[in-house]
Amino acid sequence: MISLYRPGSSPLHRMPAGAKLALGAVLAVAVSVWPHTAVTATVTLAAVFGLFALAGFGPLEWLRQVWAIRWIVAFVAVMQLVFSGPLEAYITTVRIAAVVLLAALLTITTRTSDLLEALQTVLAPLRRFGVDPWRVAFTLSLTIALVPVIADFLRRIREAQRARGVRLGFRAVVPLLVMSLRHADDVADALSARGIA
Amino acid sequence: MPDASDAIVLEDVAVELDGHRILEDVSVRLDQRRIGVIGANGSGKSTFARLLDGLVAPSRGTVTVHGIDAARDVRALRERVGFVFTNPDAQILMPTVAEDVALSLRRAGLGKAEVAERVQAQLERHGLAELADRAAYSLSGGQKQLLALVSVLIRGPRLVVADEPTTLLDLGNARRMADLLVSPPEEGGIDAQVVVVTHDLDLAARCDVVVRFADGRLAEVGDPAAIVDRYRLEFA
Amino acid sequence: MPDASDAIVLEDVAVELDGHRILEDVSVRLDQRRIGVIGANGSGKSTFARLLDGLVAPSRGTVTVHGIDAARDVRALRERVGFVFTNPDAQILMPTVAEDVALSLRRAGLGKAEVAERVQAQLERHGLAELADRAAYSLSGGQKQLLALVSVLIRGPRLVVADEPTTLLDLGNARRMADLLVSPPEEGGIDAQVVVVTHDLDLAARCDVVVRFADGRLAEVGDPAAIVDRYRLEFA
Amino acid sequence: MAVKGFEGRDLARAAVFAAIIVVLGIAGAIPVGPVPITLQTLGVMLAGVVLGPKRAAIAVGIVLVLVAVGLPVLSGGRGGLGVFAGPSAGYLIGWLPGAVVAGLIAKSSAARISWWRTALGALVGGIGVVYALGIPVQAAILGMPLHEAAVGSLIFIPGDLVKVVLATVLALALHRAYPRAFESGAAAKPAAQHA
Ligand SMILES: Nc1ncnc2c1ncn2[C@@H]1O[C@H](COP(=O)(O)OP(=O)(O)OP(=O)(O)O)[C@@H](O)[C@H]1O
Ligand SMILES: Nc1ncnc2c1ncn2[C@@H]1O[C@H](COP(=O)(O)OP(=O)(O)OP(=O)(O)O)[C@@H](O)[C@H]1O
Ligand SMILES: O=C(O)CCCC[C@@H]1SC[C@@H]2NC(=O)N[C@@H]21
Ligand SMILES: [Mg+2]
Ligand SMILES: [Mg+2]
């Protein structure tokens, strides 16, 4: 599975994941609760694009990211236009877009593995309650490794239907679940054998 | 009895998947009743087998099975061809043994009673009758592999393509499966043309003709004993 | 070098699962370096293998591996024993090749740099170095099976148990895997005791001793050539 | 052992189910507004009624964390922190308690699996709980009145009712095909030994 991370060497890329997340969260909350005017909202959005630029992403990437949230933008704009008038519509749409884009920026400048490590640090205090941070991180990696395997099961079941000239429709989920859960038992054996869980 | 139309004909076939050349320059005419396919891992055997059931489409050339153009009329092709996969788990689609065998008949629009009767007869013929209501997952490897074959045979295919059907079986079960696949019908073998992909060279040697693939190309077609011996020597 | 403690000892072992008797009356002492296990489908081979790594617990009797009581100290047992399963897909636990090999070492709490170094060395030794950053699921069958073995070997097990590790491999790959498992260490084989469950009688014949199971009981233990020949005759 | 009674077998099943939910997302989404219609909710319901509350919570939790760390595991290849700042955040977070409640109801009796308990679990957990979080969060994030968000969510109801029926039919079929799916790790392998 390909992460949404975009490699780079900007200050944002190099910033430690934990600090970046904390800062991002603070900024997002601030933008959300600040009583915006048309001007402050515009400035905020411009600032977010400024951060994209700082991370080395030009207008092409801005467009790409805005395109990704087109449904949200369109919906908010239309709803607000109908119920609150054009000014409110502008302010709200821009504010929401700014927050979502900011969060997306965190994602594209931070490696998945760094986020996983930050997660382990965050979880460390939970050790006392019986949570093993290493195990949590491992489970996430295991799931990532399993996605192509399960997708392949689905492909094979589709193929078997075609070969037998039948169409199970949604009932094809049953053999998928059987194969997947039996696979889980094999994986569990491998976990035990390798001393992991 | 084989007749003129009971032939598998590939003309200058190439297969490309995800931008990779997987098969190239394959031209061959096979009208023997028992066809063995051998070759190294990744040499293209399974891809060749899948061409015969329209599960893979050639990116160049034509595949004709018993007179049916595989690219044109997949429906007619699938009526005529039965495919047995390596892993029976992926192929057993219904919860119980009888339901799985019946599934193949469902489409043919037969009545319930007739389906039940034909399923019962088929299960009996292959010694699976006692397992009719068992959950398919709980069968042994050998029983599952047999069930997968039975579910295919009940539709009366004229060509059976089996991709490594004996890999997980012990000597006895593998022998039984092999007997079904490559013995002549008079001796209990399947009454259809058979293409069997296998790493078991003894099984390949029992066929009427052997096809060897290497690096996505047809390396040899011909006398089973000669090809198998040569292949064995390569690794001695 | 084997010493007194490098023995596998089963005393009057029985295994019951879901109310079924799966193994019965198994008593044996095995101190040879290469141990082959053969028998029909469902005869209990895999269950025997799993006993040796504490994946199944005996319902009666004791299993002692290199002096460790399998029922008492599973942790110590798993430190000493590495297990290679038939299905390589289920053993690949991490997204990329290098991460998968590193997994056990990371779990043991080794530092990043040391892990990276040992992984690299291990991958090089088995010709997988170029694949280090490849997605593990995209490897060929032979490469996957080798990866599964390498991921186990990196922990330096003193006993390697492999359950039908060559079934999906072609002649060449199966030969390479077999060489690793049963050749003496001087000739590139694994430097540990090996138990290999297999339907490949040629592989079994290369071991120092063969154990044959039948119907959940130990049928024979002894000279590989003699046992394999007798077994083959049964099906001739 | 991290959590008592939660062993490798449970962990593997949770991970496999998380992967199934991800794969169901590949089937795609129907963008009907700011919150998509997605097959992934079927996976969430199934996780609850098949795995039971504890393992289902882990399975869905894995999906949520994968979203957060920036993997494209949601329908349409979406992911990243942006989703948690977006209008579907409440529904998404609601999947977790939703799956738990579905599991609690469906497995509320030790007796055999029953179709009505399964259906009720999928309905209350997969619709009731998910919407209970999803609607208010959507209203808050988009700055719209609660009742409007509630009316807007009606568009999901037909699809989600169909998913409840599917989850029930599939769970019962699965129970015939592979009853072990419904057992806990310890029960699924009675004699097996675990570290
Ligand atoms: N969908 C695909 N996309 C890309 N490459 C593929 C695909 N399917 C197969 N291949 C590649 O094509 C080659 C031939 O595959 P094929 O499965 O036909 O080999 P095979 O001879 O059956 O091998 P085996 O003995 O391992 O079953 C392999 O290198 C394989 O990795
Ligand atoms: N968990 C289980 N519950 C009930 N029966 C089981 C279980 N595991 C194995 N069995 C049964 O125990 C018997 C022995 O199984 P085992 O896997 O040891 O056989 P095997 O010799 O390895 O066979 P194969 O050659 O097919 O791998 C089989 O009949 C099998 O169905
Ligand atoms: O992909 C996301 O961003 C989260 C999707 C949340 C979808 C909600 S869950 C309940 C309702 N039913 C659907 O099919 N979609 C919504
Ligand atoms: Mg193949
Ligand atoms: Mg076995």
D150 alpha carbon, distance to own chain's centre: 21
Query: What is the Cα–Cα distance from D142 to D34, expressed in whole angstroms?
Result: 9
CB A142 within 8 A of CB C93: yes
Per-residue model confidence as pLDDT tens digits over C59-76: 999 999 999 999 999 999
Give, in order, the Cα–Cα distances in Å from B224 to each of B164, B190, B202, D187. 17, 20, 10, 51
pLDDT (0 to 100) of residue A5: 81
Confidence of residue A108 (pLDDT cuts 50, 70, 90): confident
Mean pLDDT of D52-62: 95
CB atoms < 10 A from the CB of D27, how many? 12
Residue D52 pLDDT > 70, yes or no?
yes
> H/E element holding D115?
helix D115-123
Residue D127: C-alpha distances to residues B156, C190, D98, D124, D146 (Å): 47, 56, 8, 6, 17
* Same domain assignment for residues A97 and A157: no
Query: What three-state secondary structure class fits B36?
Result: strand
Q: What is the DSSP string of B63-101?
A: EEETTEETTT-HHHHHHHEEEE-S-HHHH--SSBHHHHH
B172 to chain C, any CB pair closer than 8 A? The answer is yes
Asked if residue A95 has pLDDT above 90, the reply is no
What do you get for the CA distance between the two ends of chain D, in Å? 8
Q: Chain B residue closest to C176 (CA)?
A: B235
Q: Is the distance from CB of B69 to CB of B230 less than 8 angstroms?
A: no
Q: What is the DSSP letter of A157?
A: H
- Total domains in chain A come to 2
Q: Which residues of A touch D29 (CB under 8 A)?
A: none
Alpha-carbon distance of C9 to B152, in angstroms, equals 46
Q: Which of B190, B198, B196, B219 is nearest to B208 (CA)?
A: B196
Does the pLDDT value for residue C13 go beyond 60? yes
- What ligand has the least distance to the C-alpha of D88? 3
Whether A132 is covered by a domain: the verdict is yes
Q: A20 and A82: one domain?
A: yes
Q: Which amino acid is at D194?
A: H
Ligand 3 contact via D153 beta carbon (within 6 Å): no
- Separation between Cα atoms, residue D88 and residue D130, nearest integer Å: 11
> What is the sign of the dihedral through the CA atoms of C139, C140, C141 and C144?
negative
Task: Please work out whether the CB of residue B86 comes within 6 Å of at least one atom of ligand 1.
Answer: no
pLDDT of residue B194: 97
> Do residue A48 and residue A95 come from a single domain?
yes
Residue C3, pLDDT score: 47
Task: Give which of B163, B194, B198, B229 is closest to B38, Cα–Cα.
Answer: B198
Burial class (CB in 10 A: 0-12, 13-18, 19+), C195: buried
Among all ligands shown, which has an atom nearest to the Cα of B50? Answer: 1
User: Would the pLDDT of A189 be above 80?
Assistant: yes
Atom number of ligand 1 nearest to Cα B46: 22
Which ligand is closest in space to the CA of residue B173?
A: 2
Ligand nearest to the CA of B85: 4
Single out the residue in A46, A77, A110 at which a domain terminates.
A110
Does A121 reside within a domain? no
What is the pLDDT averaged over residues D98-105?
97
Residue of chain A minimizing CA distance to D170: A174
pTM for this structure?
Answer: 0.89
A29 and A94 belong to one structural domain: yes
From the CA of C213, the nearest ligand is: 2
Alpha helices in chain A (DSSP H): 11-14, 17-33, 38-54, 59-68, 70-84, 86-108, 112-123, 133-164, 173-193
Does residue B115 sit in helix, strand or coil? helix
D190 vs C30, which has greater pLDDT?
C30
Q: Ligand 3 pocket, D37 CB below 6 A?
A: yes
Q: Is C167 helix (H, G, I), strand (E, B) or coil?
A: coil
Q: Are residues A102 and A135 in the same domain?
A: no
Is A120 a domain residue? Answer: no
* Residues near ligand 4 ion, CB 5 Å cutoff: B 46
> How do residues C72-107 score in pLDDT, each as one tens digit?
999 999 999 999 998 888 998 988 899 899 988 888
Same domain, A144 and A89: no
For residue A175, give the chain B residue with the closest CA: B93
Does a structural domain hold residue A8? yes
Q: State the residue for tokens 């908010």.
A: A76
pLDDT at D5 over 70: no
Residue C20 CA to ligand 2 centre (angstroms): 10
The Cβ-side half-sphere exposure at A101, using a 13 Å CA radius, reads: 27
Distance A78 CA to ligand 3 centre (A): 20
- Examine the fold and report which residue of A79, A110, A141 is the final residue of a domain before the chain moves on: A110
Residue C130 CA to chain centroid, in angstroms?
26
Confidence at residue C5, expressed as pLDDT on a 0 to 100 scale? 65
D191 touches chain C (CB under 8 A): yes
Which pLDDT does position C218 carry in this prediction?
96
Question: Token pair for residue B220?
Answer: 């040899």
Atom number of ligand 3 nearest to Cα D83: 3
Which parts of chain B have pLDDT scores under 70? Answer: 1-5, 107-108, 236
Stated as kind and residue range, the H or E segment containing B113 is: helix B112-125
Of the pLDDT bands very low, low, confident and very high (cuts 50, 70, 90), residue D130 is very high
Residues A62, A26, single domain; the answer is: yes
Evaluate whether D50 touches A87 at the Cβ level (below 8 Å). no
In-domain check, residue A134: yes
pLDDT value of residue B197: 96
Q: Which residue of A has its CA nearest to D71?
A: A3
Q: Which of D55, C99, D62 is nearest to A136 (CA)?
A: D62
d(CA B177, CA B145): 8
Of C156, C131, C133, which is closest to residue C142 (Cα–Cα)? C131
Q: What's the pLDDT at B3? A: 46
Residues of chain C contacting A, Cβ within 8 Å: 50, 53-55, 75, 78-79, 81-83, 85, 87, 89-95, 99-100, 103-104, 106-107, 135-138, 151-152, 155
- The answer to whether residue A116 sits within a structural domain is no
Name the least confident of B131-140, C201-210, D36-45: B131-140
- Among A148, A149, A193, the residue with its CB nearest the CB of C83 is A193
* Residues A77 and A173 placed together within one structural domain of the fold: no
Q: Are residues A103 and A164 in the same domain?
A: no
D7 has a chain A CB within 8 A of its CB: yes
The pLDDT value recorded for residue B234 is 83
Q: Give the distance (Å) from ligand 4 centre to CA of residue B213.
A: 11
Q: Are residues A92 and A138 in the same domain?
A: no
Residue D159 Cβ inside 6 Å of ligand 3? The answer reads: yes
Using CA of residue B155, residue B156, residue B158, residue B160, what is the dihedral sign? positive
Option in A157, A162, A168 nearest B90 (CB): A157
The whole-number pLDDT of residue C15 equals 95
**Tokens for B29?**
């005419």
What would the mean pLDDT of A24-46 be, rounded to a whole number?
A: 87
Residues of chain B with Cβ-Cβ distance to A158 below 8 Å are none
| H-run or E-run covering B25 | strand B20-30
* Residue predicted with more confidence, C201 or B3: C201
Separation of alpha carbons D146 and D169, rounded Å: 34
pLDDT of residue A30: 85
Pocket test for ligand 3, best of D22, D35, D141 (most atoms within 8 A of CB): D35
* Beta pairing partners, B17: B20
Burial of A184 per CB tally in 10 Å (0-12, 13-18, 19+): buried
Enumerate the residues of chain D whose CB falls inside 8 A of the CB of residue A79. Answer: 142, 144, 148
Residue scoring higher pLDDT (C170 or D13): D13
What is the reported pLDDT for D113? 84
The residue segments making up the domain with residue A11 are 1-110
Who among B54, B89, B151 is closest to A164 (CB)?
B151
The arithmetic mean of pLDDT across residues A46-64, rounded, is 92
Ligand 1 atom index nearest CA of B49 = 18
Greater confidence (C234 vs B101) lies with B101
For chain A, the residue count is 197
Query: With pLDDT > 70 as the criterion, what percentage of chain A qualifies?
Result: 99
Do A132 and A106 sit in the same domain of this protein?
A: no
* A178 in contact with D, Cβ within 8 Å: yes
Report if residue A118 sits inside a domain: no
C170 Cβ inside 6 Å of ligand 1: yes
Interface contact A163-B83, CB threshold 8 A = yes
* Ligand 2 closest atom vs CA C46: 22
Does one domain contain both A22 and A91?
A: yes
pLDDT exceeds 50 at position D195: no
The amino acid sitting at D162 is V
Name the nearest CA neighbour of D29 among D94, D98, D90, D75: D75
As a whole number, mean pLDDT of residues C199-204 equals 92
- Residue B124's SS3 state is helix
Nearest CA in chain A to B85: A160
Smallest Cα distance from B234 to chain A, Å: 33
Residue C7 · residue C29 · CB < 8 Å: yes
* Range from B85-89, C223-227, D161-165 carrying the lowest mean pLDDT: B85-89
Helix A133-164 vs helix A112-123: crossing angle, to nearest 10: 130
Mean pLDDT of chain A: 87
Residue holding tokens 């007997």? B179
Position D6 confidence tier, pLDDT thresholds 50, 70, 90: low
More confident residue, A150 or C110: A150
Coil, strand or helix at B138: helix
- DSSP string for residues in chain C: ---TT--EEEEEEEEEETTEEEEEEEEEEE--SEEEEEE-TTSSHHHHHHHTTTSS--SEEEEEETTEETTT-HHHHHHHEEEE-S-GGGG--SSBHHHHHHHHHHHTT--HHHHHHHHHHHHHHTT-GGGTTSBGGGS-HHHHHHHHHHHHHTT--SEEEEESTTTT--HHHHHHHHHHHHS-GGGT--SSEEEEE-S-HHHHHTSSEEEEEETTEEEEEE-HHHHHHHHHHHT-
Judged by DSSP in three states, B223 sits in: coil
Residue A173, C-beta contacts closer than 8 angstroms, at least 6 positions apart: D46, D166, D170
- Of D128, D134, D133, the closest CA to residue D101 belongs to D128
Q: Which among D32, B18, C179 is positioned nearest to A74, based on CA atoms?
A: D32
Q: Is residue A117 part of a domain?
A: no
What are the pLDDT digits (tens) for C122-142?
Answer: 999 888 888 888 888 888 888
Is residue B148 within 8 Å of residue B92, measured between CB atoms? yes
Domain boundary (A110, A136, A160) is at A110
Residue D188 CA to ligand 2 center (angstroms) comes to: 15
For residue D36 the two structure tokens come to 């998509």
Q: Looking at ligand 2, which atom is closest to the CA of residue B141? A: 26
Both tokens of C226, joined, read: 């003699």
| Averaged pLDDT score across all residues of chain C | 91
Residue whose CA lies nearest to ligand 3 atom number 11: D156
Convert B165-180 to b/e letters by CB count within 10 Å (16 or more is b): bbbbbbbebbbbbbeb
In three-state secondary structure terms, C29 is: strand
Chain B residues whose CB is inside 8 A of the C206 CB are none
Is some CB atom of chain B closer than 8 A to the CB atom of D179?
A: yes
* Sequence-ordered list of residues with C-beta below 8 angstroms from that of C146, at least 6 positions apart, any chain: C126, C128, C173, C176, C177
For residue A18, give both structure tokens.
């934990």
The pair of three-digit structure tokens given for residue B76, joined into one six-digit string: 């007619």
Which residues on D lie below 8 Å from C78 (Cβ)?
195
Residues 16-55 of A with CB under 8 A from D: 21, 24, 28
Query: Which among B137, B144, B147 is the top mutation candidate for probing chain D, defined by the most D β-carbons within 10 Å of its own β-carbon?
Result: B137
Pairing of strands C209-214, C34-39: parallel
Query: Using CA atoms, how far apart are residues D107 and C149, in angstroms rounded to an integer?
Result: 40
